[in-house]
Amino acid sequence: MAKKASKRTQTLLEKIDKTKIYGVEEAIETTKGLKSAKFDETFEVVLQLNVDPRHADQMVRGSVVMPHGTGKKVIVAVFAKGDKVDEAKAAGADLVDADALIEDIQAGNINFDTVIATPDMMGVLGKVARVLGPKGLMPNPKTGTVTMDVATAVNNAKSGQVNFRVDKKGNVHAGIGKASFDVEKLKENFAAFMGKINKAKPASAKGRYIKSGALSLTMSPAVKLDTTELMEMK
């Protein structure tokens, strides 16, 4: 027997036309009207892509620095040595002690949101790849998190870089801002995200690239997005 929706959810559902496919601007405006939590909810996008991530040439992965940030305070861990440790600290990295970080990760203590590493530290990170990988935290050159330019990577992470990766079912999730952001900022963040998604389309992907899309707040039901408009965003 299906669980009955709460009174709050029912009220929010009444504000959405379930039969309608929303354009981006109207979707953002409608979703802003669904704010119901006491905290500043996150605008969340989910896309279902017509790719098979079991094949390496159809893996969709990358990063985008949101023009207006994400509204989230990001804790950055950096694996580096020598002068690069000082560079990371100067750029605002929160955690830079590689040995202590490895111990914490092995103990199951993940106290950070992003991991950045210099290439010469990837061997060390191999010890905890099985922990970081499933959480989407393993550094990767495609997201700019394996680099010798530690300062830029830290600055990007702090200023609103969002890393994305298609899951086993072909879905991509991302937070593009907060409910407190105005519509224009959310539109620009969303456009930046979609531009990266479209540029990341694998050459081997056949048929309609974006099968479906939806926008919601942390505690709200979702509105359906016009996939034709999404695929036109560059």
Domain range enclosing 186: 18-69+162-232
Same-domain status, 153 and 169: no
Give pLDDT tens digits for 86-113.
999 999 999 999 999 999 999 999 999 9
CATH code of residue 209: 3.30.190.20
Please report whether residue 166 resides in a domain: yes
Mean pLDDT of 144-165: 94
Give pLDDT tens digits for 169-201.
999 999 999 999 999 999 999 999 999 999 999
Query: What 3-state class would DSSP assign to 35?
Result: coil
Q: In the listed set 107, 140, 159, which residue is the last one of a domain according to the structure?
A: 159
CA distance 133 to 9: 34
CB atoms within 10 A of CB 49: 25
Task: Specify the DSSP element, H or E, that contains 193.
Answer: helix 183-199
Q: Does the pLDDT at position 68 exceed 80?
A: yes
CB atoms within 10 A of CB 84: 22
pLDDT mean across residues, the chain = 94
> What's this model's pTM, rounded to 2 decimal places?
0.85
Q: Residue 1 has what pLDDT?
A: 43
CATH code of residue 149: 3.40.50.790
Mean pLDDT of 204-224: 95
Same-domain status, 172 and 65: yes
Same-domain status, 23 and 125: no
Contact at 8 Å (CB) between 44 and 218?
yes
Dihedral in degrees, nearest 10, Cα atoms 201, 194, 61, 182: 180
Q: Does the pLDDT at position 129 exceed 90?
A: yes
Q: How many domains does the chain have?
A: 2
CA distance 126 to 192: 32
Same-domain status, 35 and 53: yes
Task: Tell me which residue of 208, 191, 190, 209 sits closest to 200, measured CA to CA.
Answer: 209
